[in-house]
Structure 1
Amino acid sequence: MDLMDRILMLDKHLVIPSSLLEIEISVPKTLECVNRLIYEKKPRISAMNTLAEINMFKYNYDLNNSLASGELDVMLTCKKYAPGMKNVRRVLDEFAARRRAAEPGIAYIGLLGLLEEMRSGGITSKDEFEAICKKLHESGFRITAKYKPRRPCQRADYNVQNPPPARQAPWPGPWGCRRAHGPAWGPDEPARRGSPRSAGTARFIAYRPAPGGSGGATAPGHAPAGTGAAEPPPGPRMN
């Protein structure tokens, strides 16, 4: 069985997650059995939306006037291949068998076979895709098709080919503020300078110049205004 024998004839707009194909096919009005089988199988296909997410959501005709309209317009959107693919295979295989028995001499397009070819990497070139479309066109279908090259997986491309940059050392901050920005010195620095709190932020705050004006706070080691005593500077706080 070749690709054309494994696919089901529908008028569809097929969107694949890999962005490989977009197909719109108009079915000739002589295929009366397609209209009938679509309506018979629609409830079963719709019931599997949570598994395979195959949705039939657009009809430009109604059941009683399908032959008069002369065109079947069914929109299918396939969003992912879930474990329910086996159920879809069973439904579409039965659909294809009844289709083949009703009109054995007419070629048909199959959704399942096309999906399987794409999943296995069978359709990877524009030439191959155009050859399939040409064969469909010769069978009497009006085809509007667009080929989209397969895009690489972003996650795999990021993790394998472009690994994330190495983590840079944290910025020590003004005057070596390890409390706010994490350790940034060698292993002997804490022992030489005391605790992180006294080595960085606390010492900078303790020795900050006093704001201008009388009566304000002064830096340690300087006498406050109006007194003759001088405060000794505080030692390192080991906490």
Structure 2
Amino acid sequence: MYENEQSESDRTYLLAVAIFPVIFLLTTIYKFTFYVVIVNYQLESLKKIIVNIFKSQPFKIGADCDDSVMSPKKLYSPSIVSRKLINAKKVYNMLYENASLVNDSMGLTILNLLIVLVISITSSGYVIFVLLVDGKEQKKIPETVYFLVLGQTVLCIIVIACQNTQKIMSKLATALSKIECENYEGLKEESREFIHKFYMQLCQQPIMFTAYGFYNINLALLASITTGIVSYQIILVQFHSTPSS
């Protein structure tokens, strides 16, 4: 009787101690995903601003336009276009610096967190398998399932938020390329060159979030982690199934 009470007391103590790492985990995930979502929202706004630059421009023929090309398409004032494009590029540079700051300040924490999540998911899956096969200590199964689901949920939240950044960057580059093609004849040479350089910057210096520079956090990383976890699970199950000599 006394031993049962002591074991229950020890379990309660361990659960109470385990709350603090969970709180730290959830706080870190909340901060990181919050920063990522803010950057994603600003990138979406930037894309709308760039698209609206040309939608709001009036038809104009004069000294500001390229008179060497006669086209029924709209001709845009290069002074207005250049000024708005420069402002858009300044906004992008600011967002790039903010994303780099997030990577520098939280990248190492996210890397360690991903390692812990992989270990936690792998060990939880193996423990559940052992408990189900051996049929012992069935009371531990709900706790283990909880940690397994928690690890998977946290991992998916991180990856999905960062994958949205990559998706928005692709849309932004596509929108800029489409604008350059559709309005090519109505733009001055300097405006065309500026748009091309801006497009190259989006392709060569995209905003993305990494695990301290080791991995880009996206669906490809999630697929790699899933493959690794499944491989380790198979190895552990084989070791457990092998009869000891």
Give the TM bin, normalised by the shorter chain: under 0.3
TM-score (norm 2): 0.23
* Higher helix proportion: 2
Tell me which structure has the larger Cα radius of gyration: 1
Q: TM-score, normalised by structure 1?
A: 0.23
Q: Of Structure 1 and Structure 2, which has the larger fraction of its residues in strand? A: 1
> Which structure exhibits the higher relative contact order, with contacts defined as CA atoms closer than 8 Å and separated by 6 or more residues?
2
